[in-house]
Amino acid sequence: MLLAFDDNYQRISPQKGISAICPICNEEVVSVCGEINIHHWRHLSTTNCDPWKEPETEWHRHWKSQFPKNWQEVVIDKNNERHRADIQTSSELVLELQNSSISNRTIQERENFYGNMIWLINAEIFAKNFSIRSRVTSGLRELSEHYNYYSNLQQDIDEELKPLRNSQDENNRELERTISTKAESEKKLDKLKTAYEDIDIQVSELLTRSFYYGIYMNFNSSNISLIQDLNQELKKIEKENDEKSSLINAINQLPDSLINNYYSYKRVSFTQVKSKSFAICKVVKTISINDIFPIVIDLKSESNFRWYEQQSDQYTLIIDPTENLSNIKMALQQLENKHREVIVAKDIAFSTLKKELQEWLDLNIQKLQQDITDCDNKLEFLMEEMEQTRLEIIYTRERLEKESIESEILIKKEIKKKEIAIKTNLKGLYSYSWKHRRPSWNYANATIFLDFGESIFEILNENQFKKISKMEFIEKVINWK
């Protein structure tokens, strides 16, 4: 303690080499006047002193020395109890300095005894048991995060221009597609015009290739298959004509019989004639061929033919081809007539096919020309639209940049205003939480101040501090009402 009674019961400060009397227990105390610690009085015995007294520390002595001497270590008698208040101001406010842990019962006893009191607790020894955050710093951070989000949301020019740029990109793609379509149509048109100029060759190509080929893949005509069928028929007629002509030549090349009365006959071998032709055949006994009256025998049946065939070394076979030649020549004439008919039909089908192809080419040339015109119109429209979009992007960017600058100015003003409000309204306020809460102080009703060394924190509620300087705390105690 810093004050004790002299022999006349006057409060005195410690001086080197003297003793005094404790105001509470009336026991002798001695002065401690070293060079490091504050001068103070020490009990020789603490048996009968104040039970609320805790070991005096330099922290206690420092804080007591911040107030007038007559406020220090004031003895209070009340309800047959006597206790020494660390500090009692002129307004009878008691400041209790607490350095060590204390029970909830003792807290309640002291508050009930002193009544008008506050606590100052040395919190340096358990400062790490708190998590403390500045309300100003938190408020400014929240303000910054809010306006950063707002600013990004309202002023993101690229996001605002995105629909216009998407439209421009789509127009670019459509422009490329239209240019490609036009080029393809022009290519097809050139081919169709070339085909029109050489229509006869084109018709011939259609007949030799599938009509699904190349530029004609969408052209179809029944005359194509008709002409192809007629061509096949002509080949068949020509084949038959060749066969019959060859047969006539073969007959004519057979040796004459040279037999009297049978000059129209031809001499043949049995292997050259089938047995069913027996009626137009005769056999001559070979040894009589040169006689004036040769032996000529009529054949009666196929079996009769085959019998003489077995005697071919004795008999010579002759045949009368007159009727057959006449029939073959008649058939040749019929083939020639049919050939002319097919040629006429083919010419008609060819002319019809040519006309159909010309009409198809005309129609498709007109369609392609219209497609190219449509592409030109579309290209012109797209170019105009792209130019409008380009200008709109420029104007929109300029407008958004202007709005952005204006908005930024307004936001900065608003932020500044709110920053001032936060710094003013939340100045000195801190939010806190216990890592390991000391439950005994839950029972305190008086205001509690925590001494963290450099600053004092007033506990406003269970999660909020108010920070003040030591000088502000001393002034607060002095002027407490």
Q: What is the pLDDT of residue 210?
A: 56
Mean pLDDT of 427-454: 83
Q: What is the pLDDT of residue 433?
A: 78
Q: What is the pLDDT of residue 36?
A: 61
Does position 47 have pLDDT exceeding 80, yes or no?
no
Mean pLDDT of 329-334: 95
Give the global pTM: 0.47
Pick from 96, 128, 366, 338: nearest CA to 234 = 338
Q: What is the pLDDT of residue 426?
A: 81
Mean pLDDT of 205-213: 67
Does position 25 have pLDDT exceeding 90, yes or no?
no
The two tokens of residue 244 are 């019959």
Q: What is the pLDDT of residue 180?
A: 96
Does position 61 have pLDDT exceeding 70, yes or no?
yes
pLDDT digits (tens, 9 = 90+) for 115-161: 999 999 998 887 777 778 888 888 888 877 776 655 555 557 788 88
Q: What is the pLDDT of residue 437?
A: 66
Which comes out higher in pLDDT, residue 170 or 24?
170
Residue 459 to residue 480: CA distance in whole angstroms? 16
Which range among 38-52, 79-93, 290-304 shows the weakest confidence by mean pLDDT?
Answer: 38-52
Mean pLDDT of 41-67: 79
Which range among 56-65, 135-144, 263-272, 455-464 shows the weakest confidence by mean pLDDT?
Answer: 135-144
| C-beta of residue 305 within 8 angstroms of C-beta of residue 278 | yes
The overall average pLDDT reported for the chain is 87
- Report residue 425's pLDDT band, with 50, 70 and 90 as the boundaries: confident
Quick one: 471 exposed, middle or buried, by C-beta within 10 A (0-12, 13-18, 19+)? Answer: exposed
**Portion of the chain with pLDDT greater than 90, in percent:** 49
Per residue, the 3-state secondary structure of the chain, as one string, reads CCCEECCCCCEECCCCCCEEECCCCCCEEEEECCCCCCCEEEECCCCCCCCCCCCCCHHHHHHHCCCCHHHEEEEEEECCEEEEEEEECCCCCEEEEECCCCCHHHHHHHHHHHCCEEEEEECHHHHHHEEEEEHHHHHHHHHHHHHHHHHHHHHCHHHHHHHHHHHHHHHHHHHHHHHHHHHHHHHHHHHHHHHHHCHHHHHHHHHHCCCCCHHHCCCCCHHHHHHHHHHHHHHHHHHHHHHHHHHHHHHHCCCECCCCCCCCCEEECHHHCCHHHHHHEEEEEHHHCCCCCCCEEECCCHHHHHHHHHCCCCEEEEECCHHHHHHHHHHHHHHHHHHHHHHHHHHHHHHHHHHHHHHHHHHHHHHHHHHHHHHHHHHHHHHHHHHHHHHHHHHHHHHHHHHHHHHHHHHHHHHHHHHHHHHHHCCCEEEEEECCCCHHHHHCCCEEEEECCCCEEEEEECCEEEEECHHHHHHHHHCCC
Q: What is the pLDDT of residue 475?
A: 94
Which range among 34-38, 70-74, 252-256 shows the weakest confidence by mean pLDDT?
Answer: 34-38
| C-beta of residue 266 within 8 angstroms of C-beta of residue 255 | yes
Can you give the residue ranges of every domain in the chain? 4-135+428-478, 139-254+337-427, 255-320
Distance spanning both ends of the chain, measured CA to CA:
27
CA angle 378, 381, 383 (to 5 degrees): 110
- What per-residue string of b and e applies to 403-438 under the rule 16 or more CB within 10 Å gives b? ebeeeeeebeeebeeeeeebeeebebbbeeeeeeee
- Backbone phi and psi for residue 458, each to the nearest 5 degrees, phi listed first: -90, 130
Q: Residue 433 forms beta bridges with which residues?
A: 131
What order do you get walking across the sheet with 266-268 strand by strand?
Answer: 266-268, 315-319, 281-285, 296-298
Q: What is the pLDDT of residue 291?
A: 85
Longest dimension (CA), the chain: 208
Q: What is the pLDDT of residue 8?
A: 73
Beta strand 81-88 pairing with 72-78: antiparallel
The residues, ordered by sequence, that sit 6+ positions from 40 with a Cβ below 8 Å of its Cβ are 1, 2, 14, 31, 32, 56, 61
Distances in whole angstroms, Cα of residue 115 to Cα of each of 37, 110, 111, 285, 334: 32, 8, 5, 175, 149
Residue 441, by phi and psi: left (phi above 0), alpha (psi -120 to 50) or beta? alpha
- Report residue 335's pLDDT band, with 50, 70 and 90 as the boundaries: very high
pLDDT digits (tens, 9 = 90+) for 78-110: 888 889 899 999 999 999 999 888 888 999 999
CA angle 412, 418, 423 (to 5 degrees): 125
- Look up residue 278 and give its amino acid: F
Question: With the CA atoms of 309, 310, 313 and 317 taken in that order, what torsion angle do they form, in degrees rounded to the nearest 10?
Answer: -10
pLDDT digits (tens, 9 = 90+) for 163-198: 989 999 999 999 999 999 999 999 999 988 988 888
Q: What is the pLDDT of residue 438?
A: 67
Which comes out higher in pLDDT, residue 16 or 466?
466
Mean pLDDT of 230-238: 94
Q: What is the pLDDT of residue 148?
A: 66
